[in-house]
Each structure stands twice: as structure tokens, then as C-alpha cells.
Amino acid sequence: MNRDPSAHDAVDPRRRSRLLGSDVLRLGTTGLRARPARAVLSALGIAIGIAAMIAVVGISTSSQAKLAAELDTLGTNLLRVEAGKTMTGEPTELPASSIDRVGRIPGVEQVAGAATLPDRSVYRSRLIDPNRSSGLDVRAASPELLDVLDASIVDGDWLNAATATYPTVVLGSTAAERLGVTEAGTLVWLDGRLFTVVGVLAPVGLAPEIDTAALIGEAVAAEFFGYEGRPTTVYERSADEDVDAVRSLLPGTVSPEAPNEVEVSRPSDALAAKNAADQAFTGLLLGLGSVALLVGGIGVANTMVISVLERKREIGLRRALGATRGHIRAQFLTEALLLSALGGAAGAALGAVVTAAFATMNGWPVSLPLGVVGGGIGATLVIGAIAGLYPAIRASLTPPTSALSG
């Protein structure tokens, strides 16, 4: 008399066989332990797919970090505020409180100012013809200017709280070259007074006008030249994502009475290039990562389907001895997850090593977000579960008599 194969599962729940978690884990490793060579090759296929994904992501993010660093040197987040003109074309001046006002804008991280002192010149000595100014100007600089402009000193030091109150000067790179000054400690003739050179700047790419300037402290400028604290240029830095918002607030903040008389520089074209690069890299990473994960999932599915076909007798025997369909599904699903976990972990480690080696050889900063590694392993487990689900269901639906006769 023929019986429905599924009737084996319809026994009294109190008499149905049970599997503990340790039993599921042991059964899940049975196929891996019985066929270690196949398990290694299958895991290797998954590992290569995950390693390719992580390496591509890591190399791309490292390249992106290098590009971002280079674009940052172009002042992607630097804005400058200058006095404009009235409706009748008359020049205006920035308020003396401009720097403080800008510093209170939400999103502003750094702010500094510089003021051109009109009709002031600097010479190598008092013996130089006053008409030969060499195109150099004198500017009063706030202490934060060096950091805001990301400038560097090639010799000497920047103006500090002490030196800024004495007749000392820091020369821009071009100014030092035209004056024949190569080191700190040299004396120069600045508008009828001897000033000691305390520092020489390297070229300032973000503000070329500083290269041809002699920079003095605000206190000295006020004492000797009547400086009233009105900057001619205010330099401001904020995060890239805040640049547009800060720029819209600058005119009204600096001059609430006449915001139209304040000129604010447009963000550098490098910022647009940086944003475009970020979007391009994001799309590239998503596409390549998806392909690599798909390849890994196909490998898991292929391995598990073949495993089910080769182990039909084992499945039939276990079903005949009382294993339920749920037991069979759990066994093969666990096996797929273990295979994916092994391949994912190995692939993540291999991808990280390849990323570090490639970035180091090219002189790039190594940038591999931990979320990418964790996400790669997690995605591998999810794909492994999905890929192993069909073979597990197929194995559980195999009738015992058919499996044993096969």
C-alpha cells in the first residue's frame, strides 16, 4: 500500500524528533567536512568575489581621498568677503566688526581678515628710490590668517601675540624675492620705519595677493598708520556642505543695512568638481559591488544545488530515520551560511590587503571604511541564505523512497 511521503511529518508533535542548535551546526558542517576540497574551492570562489568588491571599493575610496585632498588645496570651502560699491558707484568699506560677525554664522569653522593699508610701501632699505615700490603693498593681518589660508612659513615664524605689537613683518614669497630677503632677522624699510622680518611665507595658492604683501600686526598698524580695524578682505572657511548656506548669509551679516554693498566670492569650481567626483565614485562603487555580490551568490547557489543532487541518498536515509523537512532545510541552509561566512571573511581580509598594498604603492592614503568590510560580509551571508534557500527546500521535498532508490 502506497503512503503519502509527507505523512511521515504528520506524527504526534510529542513524538517528533527535535534538533538542538548544536545539532544543526554539526549537521551543517557535515557536507563541508565530508568534501573539504569542494568546500575550499567554493569558499574560494566566494572569497574572490568579495575580495574583488572590497578591493574595488577600497581602491576607489583611496583614490577619492587623494582627489579630495588635492581639491581641498584649491580652497573648495574658502569664501572671501570684500567691500563692494554703492548704487552710485562709490567704493564702500567693511565694518570693523566684520570678522566677529562672520564668526557667529552657523557653519563657519574659521575666519580671518587682512586690510590693505593705502599709500604704504616697503623697501629693502631707506636708500631705495621711493618710486621703485616693486608693486608690493602693506597689509594688516589678523593672527588666524595663516591657518585659514592654509599657508606655511619657509623661514622664521608667523606673527604672534608678542611680535604683532612690535615693528615686525612677515613677507609673502614674491615680496621676499623682490626685496632680496631670504631669511628671518633681516631689516626692511617700511614707510619710514625699520621693521624686522620675523618670517617668510611659502606661496599661498588660495590667496595670491598675499604673495606680494608685507604683513604686519593689527596693533602696529593702528599705532603707526592709523588703522581703524576695517578689513578689506575677510576669509572664511566652512564644511563643503555648508558653503552655499554660509554664502547666502554673509552679505546680510556683514552689512545688515546694505547687504548689496558686500561682495562674496563664488565657491571655487573645485567644489563642484569634488561633488561631481563623489557622485561618480558612489555610482561606480554600487555597480561594481552589486556585480561582485551577485557572482558570489551564484557560486553559493550552484554549489548547494550540486550538493543536494549528490547527497540524495543521505537525504533519503535521514528522512527514513525520522528527520523532518524542517531538519533538512535547516541542515542545508546552515551549510550555505557557513560556506558564505568562510568565503566572506577570507574575501574581506584579502580585499583589505590588496587595497592597502595598491594605495601604498601609489602614495595614496589608505581609505577603507569599516562599514564596507562589515557590509560585505553581511551581504554575503544574506545572499548565501537566499542562494541556499532553494536547494534547502528542494532537498526537504525529496521523497525518501525516491532518494534511496536514486
- Given a cut of 70, whether residue 74 has pLDDT beyond it is no
Tell whether the model's pLDDT for residue 308 goes beyond 80: no
- Of the CA atoms within 13 Å of residue 292, those in its CB half-sphere come to 27
Alpha helices, DSSP H, located in 149-268 = 173-179, 218-225, 243-254
Spatial distance between the Cα atoms of 159 and 221, rounded to a whole number of angstroms: 13
pLDDT attached to residue 41: 73
Q: What angle do CA 377, 42, 304 make, to 5 degrees?
A: 95
Nearest Cα neighbor of 117 from 212, 219, 26, 221 is: 221
Which three three-digit cell numbers place residue 187?
631689516
What is the rounded average pLDDT for all residues in the chain?
80
What span, in angstroms and rounded, lies between the C-alpha atoms of 315 and 323?
Answer: 9
CA dihedral 64, 69, 72, 77 (to 10 degrees): 60
The answer to whether the beta carbons of residues 143 and 164 sit under 8 Å apart is yes
- Pick the range with the lowest mean pLDDT from 104-113, 142-151, 279-288, 381-390: 279-288
pLDDT score recorded for residue 186: 93
Q: Cell for 390?
A: 532553494
- Give CA–CA dist 49/252, Å, rounded: 55
pLDDT of residue 19: 59
C-alpha angle with apex 368: 367 to 370, nearest 5 degrees?
135
For 334-363, the pLDDT digits (tens) are 877 888 888 888 888 888 898 889 888 888
Task: Quote the pLDDT of residue 159.
Answer: 93
Q: Which of the four pLDDT bands, split at 50, 70 and 90, describes residue 266?
A: low
| pLDDT exceeds cutoff 60 at 303 | yes
The DSSP letter of residue 91 is: B
Neighbours of 120 (CB within 10 A): 21
For the chain, give the longest Cα–Cα distance: 125
pTM for the complete prediction? 0.55
Model confidence at 12: pLDDT above 60: no
User: Which range (51-55, 250-254, 349-353) has the least confidence?
Assistant: 51-55
Residue type, position 221, single letter: A
Higher pLDDT, 236 or 29: 236
Gyration radius (Cα) of the chain, Å: 36
Distance in angstroms (rounded) separating the CA atoms of residues 87 and 105 = 27
Segment 94-134, tens digit of pLDDT: 999 999 999 999 999 999 999 999 889 999 988 888 877 77
pLDDT at res. 8: 47
